[in-house]
Structure 1
Amino acid sequence: MGYKLSRRQFGQLVLAGTVVSGFSYLTNKALAQTPNLNIVGIGSTSIPTDPTAIPEVKTTESYSTHQSSVTTDIPPVGLELVLRSFTTGSTQVIADNGTPLLEPNEILSGFTSLRDGTLVVAITPLITSRRKATPNRLTFLGASSAKTLIVSGLNENQQLGSLLGTNDGRLIGLVGSKNGVPPITLVDINLKTGAISPLSQITIPKDKRVSNLAECPDGKFYTSLLGFHGETSLVQLGSNQEKPIVLAQLKVDGQEWNNGLQNLVCSGTGQLLAFGAMRYQTPNAVYSIDKKSGNMTRLENFDVTQIALVPG
């Protein structure tokens, strides 16, 4: 039986400052043998309180070696929840006046689902010159409630992102500097306390710009490596100090992918899916990946910030 979020359950997950979209995509030939593939997307939306307010600007990855200071607060975030079915084409919009999930000057740095379908959001404060940054934290969105844990073990220049709920029920993620400069560390996250600890069972390249984590049903882990000009390679991670294997450089219609990925996820049949957009292009879209060639096939546009698979 497929995992489905009812209108009432989605209403319980609504928190101001969040756009959450979900769809069950069954029509593409590449995924025809993958029933109950449920993808949930999350992103922030900004609704200024006055016409002179500056809208939220989507940031891009940078190789800057220093942390920029944000001098303008992100405007108040609007409230919208969208449940979208890519099978029927129907869309439901639900509004609520709950407590904001995002404070001003914060970003969504990670998103995943746990084995029981709970959605997990990593929230990272930006460095500002106007006020003290709020703590890095995790918000767990369950079927009937939400809870938040403060992440411990990070310094003020680090962020936790690229969350992954593993096949065996753990929560892991990547920790690195807020400007993305290596090294990147793989960590285990305590689901009760939010404390992080290094995870050495999987080898992460220390000198590469690593982002995104995916685990397939066979237990193999994958990530993406970002080059200086945005070129992105698919990598199978090694275990017990085995060297990671670079599988292929990602490309679409023969053109080199040039903007990193927002997410990398793996379906129940072992199909890797990428989420993102080429540089200077919108919106983001879901792509299937050929692991051998690196060819990406666009499945559907999905105008959110990050995605996760929920169990079927």
Structure 2
Amino acid sequence: MSYKLSRRKFGQLALAGTVVSGLSYLTNRALAETPSLNIVGIGSTPIITTDQTTIPEVNTTELDSTAPDSVSTDIKPVGLVLQSLITGKAQVLADKSTPLLELNEIVSGFTSLSDGTLVVAITPITTSRRQATPTRITFLGTPVKTLIVSGLKQNQQLGSLLGTNDGRLIGLVGKKNGTPPIRLVDIDLQTGEISSISKVKFPNDERVSNLAECPDGKLYTSLVGLNGDTTLVQLDSNQKKPIRLGQLKVNGQAWNNGLQSLVCSATGQLLAFGAMRYETPNAVYSVDKNSGNMTRLQDFDTTQITRARG
């Protein structure tokens, strides 16, 4: 099966209000043997200008001004970088557009909705007593739409976004340092309000990160121990505890650094993204759901990934 990014689709990415630099199609033999692999990565980078003039302040939100949950923020020059990793292609495109991050913020979640819209969760990391910019979700469509997230406590963070097969947006909420307690939440696509949706109780001695849903509707996440050991689990609404499937490992060596992302391809192949402790760069791995064995597919120099749709 072959893949291509149409002019229309590239135009949507280029106009999505991000800095789209190095929109790259990367491939190798391992990727070529993995059908339906079509993922997008996101990272952030300072915007470097060639003069000393002040960068104009930009309103990143183009929502109806009557919407009570819209946010209009003057953004400092920190850009988002989108990269596309698609089997069977090797081409580089570039464009530049509007930054969406402030200097004291991080991308805490990244996913694609069922209609193909990319969604980013942006979280402040300031430690000062000054009121930080609220946590928000930004839809990278045309136009860009941004919603303030409501329902979070001051010390909580929204992360690990997932656009579900049935069109919802869900995520994980925990403390800003990533520690428990963790809960699975639904995010209202119109208001940004979060609400708990699952009675699954996550362990209090392990971190929980990343959400993936396969075409069969099964939901997966990962549990991370104190030493970075990472266990693949399945979430079942009929079970009070996550179903442990297996500890992740590469070439017989236990994975020791958690994951940056976990996604499922259109054919049901589970893909992990990250790097072992003290190693770079991040890479995409195929995951055997039963054994936890991971097979390296491709290095990918980005921060988080999601499956491209639409």
> Into which bin does the TM-score normalised by the smaller protein fall?
0.7 to 0.9
**1:28 pairs with 2:30:** yes
The equivalences for 1:218-257 within 5 A come to 218-257=216-255
Confirm or deny: 8 A CA contact 2:24 2:93 kept in the other structure: no
Confirm or deny: 8 A CA contact 2:121 2:135 kept in the other structure: yes
Deviation of 1:84 after TM superposition, in Å, equals: 5.9
Deviation of 1:26 after TM superposition, in Å, equals: 8.5
Confirm or deny: 8 A CA contact 1:189 1:196 kept in the other structure: yes
Q: Is there any run of 5+ residues in structure 2 with no aligned partner, and where?
A: 51-75
**1:87 pairs with 2:85:** no
Confirm or deny: 8 A CA contact 1:186 1:204 kept in the other structure: no
Change in 2 beyond 3 A, CA 1:176/1:31:
farther
Deviation of 1:76 after TM superposition, in Å, equals: 4.3
SS of the residue corresponding to residue 78 of structure 2 reads coil
Instruction: Give the TM-score normalised by the residue count of structure 2.
Output: 0.82
Distance 1:194 1:3 in 2: 33
Deviations 1:182-235 (A, max 9, x none): 11010000000000001126x241423111111111111111000101110101
Partner of residue 43, structure 2: 43
Deviation of 1:127 after TM superposition, in Å, equals: 2.6
Moved more, 206-215 or 115-124: 206-215
Instruction: Give the TM-score normalised by the residue count of structure 1.
Output: 0.82
Confirm or deny: 8 A CA contact 2:23 2:94 kept in the other structure: no
Confirm or deny: 8 A CA contact 1:112 1:309 kept in the other structure: yes
Deviations 1:19-73 (A, max 9, x none): 67464868537854x33x32011100125679xxxxxxxxxxxxxxxxxxxxxxx
Q: Is there any run of 5+ residues in structure 1 with no aligned partner, and where?
A: 51-74
SS of the residue corresponding to residue 28 of structure 1 reads helix
Partner of residue 111, structure 1: 110
Change in 2 beyond 3 A, CA 1:119/1:20:
farther
Partner of residue 155, structure 2: 157
Equivalent position amino acid for 2:309 in 1: P
Partner of residue 122, structure 2: 123
Distance 1:20 1:183 in 2: 38
SS of the residue corresponding to residue 261 of structure 1 reads coil
Equivalent position amino acid for 1:252 in 2: V
Confirm or deny: 8 A CA contact 1:273 1:288 kept in the other structure: yes
Distance 1:29 1:81 in 2: 19
Partner of residue 293, structure 2: 295
Distance 1:265 1:84 in 2: 13
SS of the residue corresponding to residue 299 of structure 1 reads strand
Partner of residue 61, structure 1: none
Confirm or deny: 8 A CA contact 2:248 2:254 kept in the other structure: yes
Deviation of 1:301 after TM superposition, in Å, equals: 0.8
Distance 1:310 1:193 in 2: 24
Confirm or deny: 8 A CA contact 1:172 1:189 kept in the other structure: yes
SS of the residue corresponding to residue 94 of structure 2 reads strand
Distance 1:243 1:130 in 2: 37
SS of the residue corresponding to residue 223 of structure 1 reads strand
The equivalences for 1:133-144 within 5 A come to 133-142=132-141, 144=142
Q: CA RMSD in A?
A: 2.6
Identity among equivalent pairs (%): 63
Distance 1:117 1:26 in 2: 25
Change in 2 beyond 3 A, CA 1:293/1:303:
same
Confirm or deny: 8 A CA contact 2:80 2:101 kept in the other structure: no
**1:174 pairs with 2:176:** no
Distance 1:149 1:5 in 2: 29
Change in 2 beyond 3 A, CA 1:267/1:85:
closer
Distance 1:286 1:244 in 2: 24
Partner of residue 15, structure 2: 12
